[in-house]
């Protein structure tokens, strides 16, 4: 009993750093066409309003999450944060498909972005 528990614990501890290093990449590289496509941007905007605004939006409780600075981000970075999460930033991998997470990225990086 005890050794099985110890083995499981050890396995988890060993597996964790390897898992944490595995940063998610989009299934296909982002293209200008994808990022500027109105359909993608609109779909991303809806998801933003449903899931992101209450933490990152202008009316969010101060200090809940950082104000986003899209001019500083590459699409791969936004995709990775949305997919993997980071510290108190939740992961959306189980919530949204790869395409949807790419669309959220397109919205955040678009001129329409309005937190
Ligand atoms: C529960 C609150 C919460 C929700 C909901 C949330 N985030 Fe975050 N997000 C955070 C926090 C906290 C951080 C800062 C993590 C850190 O760096 O420690 C963050 C960081 C980020 C970053 C990186 C910012 C930077 O400059 O480093 C991006 C991009 C981001 N979030 C996008 C989103 C998107 C898009 C959504 C919706 C799918 C979303 N977040 C939903 C809390 C949230």
User: Using alpha carbons only, how large is the chain's radius of gyration in Å?
Assistant: 17
Quick: pLDDT tens for 60-104: 998 999 999 999 999 999 999 999 999 999 999 999 999 999 999
Q: Interhelix angle for 75-84 vs 98-108, to 10°? A: 130
Domain ranges for the chain: 26-108
With a 6 Å cutoff on the Cβ, whether 104 touches ligand 1 is: yes
CA-proximal residue: ligand 1, atom 42 (nearest)? 89
Q: Return the CATH fold of 26-108.
A: Cytochrome Bc1 Complex; Chain D, domain 2 (1.10.760)
Q: Give, as one character, the DSSP assignment of residue 89.
A: B
pLDDT tens, 7-59? 665 565 555 555 555 789 999 999 999 999 999 999 999 999 999 999 999 98
3-state secondary structure of 41: helix
Looking at residue 19, its pLDDT comes to 55
């Amino acid at each position: 009993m005890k050794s099985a528990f110890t083995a499981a614990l050890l396995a988890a501890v060993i597996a964790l750093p390897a898992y944490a290093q595995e940063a998610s990449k989009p299934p296909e590289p982002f293209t200008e066409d994808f990022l500027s496509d109105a359909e993608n941007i609109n779909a991303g905007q809806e998801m933003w309003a449903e899931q992101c605004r209450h933490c990152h939006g202008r009316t969010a409780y101060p200090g809940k999450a950082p104000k986003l600075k899209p001019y500083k981000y590459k699409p791969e970075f936004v995709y990775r944060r949305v997919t993997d999460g980071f510290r108190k930033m939740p992961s959306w991998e189980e919530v949204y498909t790869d395409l949807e997470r790419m669309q959220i990225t397109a919205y955040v990086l678009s001129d329409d972005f309005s937190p």
